[in-house]
Amino acid sequence: MLRIWASAELAIACAAVVAIFLSVLWQVISRYVPALNWPEVGEIANYSLIVLTFIMVGYLIGNNGHIVIQVIDYVAKGRAARMAVKAVSSACTAVICALLAWEAFELIQAYPNRRTAALEIPIWILYAVPLLGFLSGTVRAIVRIFQAGHPDPLFDSAEAR
């Protein structure tokens, strides 16, 4: 179940990379072919980066792929100590993600009518992306609390699936 969810998140993020590439390229080309001039592409590119970032939150928590600071590994050597660190860390992560999901929900309610400047996309649709991302992050972090006994496999971005 989480596997399918993860591949959906990664697929959306990949689509966002493609969208960023194509829209920025479009902006270059349209400067030389004025007929293609469509100022809205800048907005597509910017919101794609936002979508990419927030949709990947849960995926990266689930796969131990976020940028973390590994100092504790030098201190906590024993199995019990590592287990405790992982459990506490995951619990904190879950709380922060849950708070952010709540904030996303607040934003959706706070700006029912606001739209983006160029494409006039209702802004609440865009705030739904962090809502999904942080809900997914909360679930992933809770799952990690229960997996605290297992050491994390090293995450390799080159092999991301």
Site residues (CB under 8 A) for another protein, limited to 10-49? 10, 13-14, 16-18, 20-21, 24-25, 27-28, 31, 34, 37, 39, 42-43, 45-47, 49
Strands (E), 4-47: none
Q: Looking at 2, 8, 36, 68, which residue binds another protein (CB under 8 A)?
A: 68
What's the min distance (Å) between Cβ of 117 and another protein?
A: 5
Q: Does 124 bind another protein (CB under 8 A)?
A: no
CA 81, CA 79: separation in Å to the nearest integer? 5
Helix (H, G, I), strand (E, B) or coil at 80: helix
Q: Does 100 bind another protein (CB under 8 A)?
A: yes
Residue 116, C-beta contacts closer than 8 angstroms, at least 6 positions apart: 43, 47, 123, 126
Number of residues engaging another protein in binding (CB under 8 A): 76
Q: Does 148 bind another protein (CB under 8 A)?
A: no
Q: Does 121 bind another protein (CB under 8 A)?
A: no
Q: Please answer whether residues 141 and 93 qualify as being in contact, where contact means their C-beta atoms are separated by less than 8 angstroms.
A: yes
Q: Does 136 bind another protein (CB under 8 A)?
A: no
Q: Does 128 bind another protein (CB under 8 A)?
A: no
Strands (E), the chain: none
Q: Please answer whether residues 98 and 134 qualify as being in contact, where contact means their C-beta atoms are separated by less than 8 angstroms.
A: yes
